Amino acid sequence: MTTLKFSLSEEVLAKVAKVKLLLLDVDGVLTDGKIVIDDQGKETKIFNVLDGFGIVIFRKCGYKVAIISARAAGAVNARAKDLNIDKVYQAAFPKMDSYVKLLAEMKLKDEDICFIGDDLPDLGVLKRVGFAVTVPNAVAEVKKIAHYITTNTGGAGAVREVIEIILKTQGRWDNIIENLD
């Protein structure tokens, strides 16, 4: 049986045990928060391959994944398509409107959701979800309400870290490792 290398309280583990859907912010979570714009005004984002593979195995285990971003970028749609992400909400500000829509569309409850956010637009959703997560360089207000702060930063494995926590807590990780052949 796999043990967590992260120290989580029994209360937090109980929240993790209920997760059915992983909801992700983009800038600062799926990316390092930098926005690169070339001379022609085209925006580029850099995504982490470990996060991506984590999303792939998470979905293969039957979980759902969604993105909610206050900004809109073509790179997000391309990455979401590549990873078969279930729902993408862009230009979602305030985010709560899209979050409520997601719950209705996916027939889920707040406690079924793990959300990883890092900035003020994420506060409302983080306050509602069952398992609220943030990254080390998040704003203080977000860190204050998060159930868990990742050791990895956004765009550098934070999403993968959370996926492993969920899968290990729910007893799914060992099966994944055994069936990678």
Report the share of the chain in percent with pLDDT over 90: 79
Q: Which two tokens stand for residue 8?
A: 């989580």
73 close to 90: Cβ distance less than 8 angstroms: yes
Q: What is the mean pLDDT of residues 25-36?
A: 92
Longest Cα separation, the chain: 52
Q: What is the torsional sign of CA 68, 108, 123, 136?
A: negative
pLDDT in tens, 120-138: 999 999 999 999 999 999 9
- CA-to-CA distance for 72 and 90, rounded, in angstroms? 5
User: Measured between alpha carbons, how far is residue 143 from residues 64, 127, 137, 146 in Å?
Assistant: 25, 11, 9, 5
**124, 94 Cβ separation under 8 angstroms:** yes
Residue 3 has pLDDT above 80, yes or no: no
Stretch (H or E) spanning 123: helix 123-128
For the stretch 134-171, pLDDT in tens is 999 999 999 999 999 999 999 999 999 999 999 999 99
pLDDT band of 30, cuts 50, 70, 90: very high
Q: What is the pLDDT of residues 66-82, one digit of tens each?
A: 999 999 888 899 999 99
Q: What is the pLDDT of residues 41-61, one digit of tens each?
A: 888 899 999 999 999 999 999
State the burial class of residue 37 (Cβ atoms within 10 Å of its Cβ: 0-12, 13-18, 19+): exposed
Instruction: Reply yes or no on whether the pLDDT at 86 is more than 90.
Output: yes
Cis check: omega of the bond before 121, within 30 degrees of 0: no
**Residue 181: pLDDT above 80?**
no
Which pLDDT score, from 0 to 100, does residue 178 have?
84
Res 154: pLDDT: 94
Q: Where are the domains of the chain?
A: 10-170
Q: Answer whether residue 1 shows pLDDT above 60.
A: no
DSSP tally for the chain: helices H, then strands E: 8, 8
Tell me what the mean pLDDT of segment 82-108 comes to.
96
| pTM, entire model | 0.93
- CATH class of segment(s) 10-170: alpha beta
